[in-house]
Structure 1
Amino acid sequence: MNKTLCFALAALLGLAACSAERVSLFPSYKLKVVQGNELDPRAVVSLQPGMSRDQVQLLLGTPLLRDAFHADRWDYTFNTGRNGVIKEQRNLTLYFQNNQLVKAEGDAIAKAIEMLKAAQAQQPQVQPAQPGAAYVPIQK
């Protein structure tokens, strides 16, 4: 009986050490899991009230969730994770009335604006060229 108790205790302690956090510390390949719709920041920023459902679907793609109980609501969700830990998550919820876009909300809008501003800041500004002058980008 002592051997059985010791074996059960050792097995219990061994299994307790195998948590997801500790396993993620081992240097091994972890598969990147992408779920949902990755939204183009330019498309998210170009949403305007009054757009039809077809226009929105052409712009953003098929929504991840069309709730049967809320027919005038579309949800776009995007998650990126490794080893069960979510690294990035974005949500966009669109509300329609009479097949026209009324309201858009979610953290994907702020993230899209932030990404576009960062991309615009990285692009060098071009100074208008004088006739006969060489092209020289202006560095900030």
Structure 2
Amino acid sequence: MVKVKLDSRLKTFASSMRSDDSTDEERKLWYLFFKKYKIKFRRQKVLDGFIADFYCPLAKLVIELDGSQHYSDYGKTYDQWRSGIIEKNGILVLRFSNMDIRKHFDGVCLMIDHITRRRIQEIIEAKEGVTSRLSPPLGGE
């Protein structure tokens, strides 16, 4: 990941978002899922000059919760541009709507768990030089 000197105002803003400015959906996901989850996630993490709602460094995974402002033409374009910058560092960005959190909370949590574990496994295998657990043995047998 590219090291960027963090603007102190951005760090302060991220800190205030953790304490005061979280949405109901962010608080629900944090307190009912991530806070108890065995794999560590961080809230309002500054990455590449942006503030990610949730970030798991082990899985290189960002979780974003999108309110209505994200569904305007500008919001969609901005989110796509922002995600592209973050993903250039090998970080996957997953987006869920606030409605998903309100209506399908358990399903969202299951999906986050599945993708987090899969990402960690892929990262471990890549570090070990393992291409696939399903690859045939050398020699084609």
Q: TM-score, normalised by structure 2?
A: 0.26
Query: Between Structure 1 and Structure 2, which shows a larger proportion of strand residues?
Result: 1
Q: Which structure's CA Rg is the greater one?
A: 1
Q: TM-score, normalised by structure 1?
A: 0.26
